[in-house]
Amino acid sequence: MKYIYIIFTLFITNYAFSQTEGKFDDKDKVVRIYSEKEQDERYGYEGTNSQEALDYYNKATEVGQKDPYLSISYYLKAIEEDPYFVEAYDNLGRLYRYTEQYDLAIEYYKKSIYLFTDGVIAHQNLAVVYQKMSLYEEAISEYNIVVTLDPNSPEGYYGLGWMLLITATTNDALEDALINAKKSLDLYKKNPPNFIGDSYFLIGYIYHFLGNDIKSKEYFNITKEKYLENNMIKNWEDKLEIINNL
C-alpha cells in the first residue's frame, strides 16, 4: 500500500480538491446568510440579531475573493460585534484556508463547531484543511461526522472515499473506500455537478488498486466522457496523465 500513498500524495497535492488552493468552486461550502437562505436553513444556521455584525458580514461577502485579507478584517469585526455569529466563523475559516493559513483555519472552524456542534459546513471544511495538512485520520473523523449529520452529503462520502484509500493497508479497507465513493456518486447523480467526473475517476482509481482492470478502465472511460461533456478538458488531461502513469 506504500505505492498507493506515493501516488495519492502526488495526486491530491496537484489535482484533488482544487478549490482549497487559489480559487473557490462549486464544491466549496460557503455560508452566505440571506443570499443563500435555503442552504442556511438546511444546515440550521440562525444568522445574527446584530445589525452592526450583519453590516460587516455583508461587506466581507461583497469583497470576497477579490481582497481576501480585507474580507477577513470585516469578518473579524462582525464577530467582535456578535461573538456567537457562527456563519462569520465558518467564512473566516474558509478564507484562512484560501490564504493557506491552515492553523488559523482550524482555529476558526473549531470555534464555529464549539458554538454549533452540528455545523456540517464547518466539519466538512475542517476535514479538507486536515487533508491538506496530511492529517488523514483527523480528516476521516470529520468526514464521518459530516455523513452522520447529513447522510445525503455527496461531498462527505467523496472525501471519505479518498481518505480511506490513502490510509488503506488491506483490500478490505479498499472495499470500504469503494463503498463510500459509490455512495458519493449515487448522491451526485441526483443533481449532477459539472465536476461529477471526479467521482467516476475516484471509483476507477480504487478499482485499479483492487486489481480489477476491467472495472477501472470502465470508470476511467466514463470519467473522460463526463469531463468532455461538461467542457472540463483540462481536468481530463490532468487525470489522463495520472492514468498513464499507473
pLDDT at 64: 81
pLDDT at 17: 39
Cell for 200?
467516476
pLDDT at 45: 76
Contact status, residue 165 vs residue 4, Cβ threshold 8 Å: yes
pLDDT at 205: 97
* Helices assigned H by DSSP within 116-231: 120-132, 136-149, 154-166, 171-189, 197-209, 213-229
CATH superfamily of 31-150: Tetratricopeptide repeat domain (1.25.40.10)
Residues of the chain scoring pLDDT < 70? 1-44
pTM score: 0.83
Query: What is the C-alpha to C-alpha distance for residues 135 and 157, in angstroms, rounded to an integer?
Result: 17
Q: Name residue 32's amino acid.
A: R
pLDDT at 41: 52
Element (H, E) at 159: helix 154-166
Q: Compute the chain's Rg from CA coordinates.
A: 19
Cell for 109?
472552524
pLDDT at 7: 44
* Biggest CA-to-CA distance, the chain: 59
**How many angstroms from the chain centroid is the CA of residue 56?**
26
Tell me whether domains 1-22+154-246 and 31-150 share a fold.
yes
Specify the CATH class of 1-22+154-246 in words.
mainly alpha
pLDDT at 65: 77
Can you give the residue ranges of every domain in the chain?
Answer: 1-22+154-246, 31-150
pLDDT at 160: 96
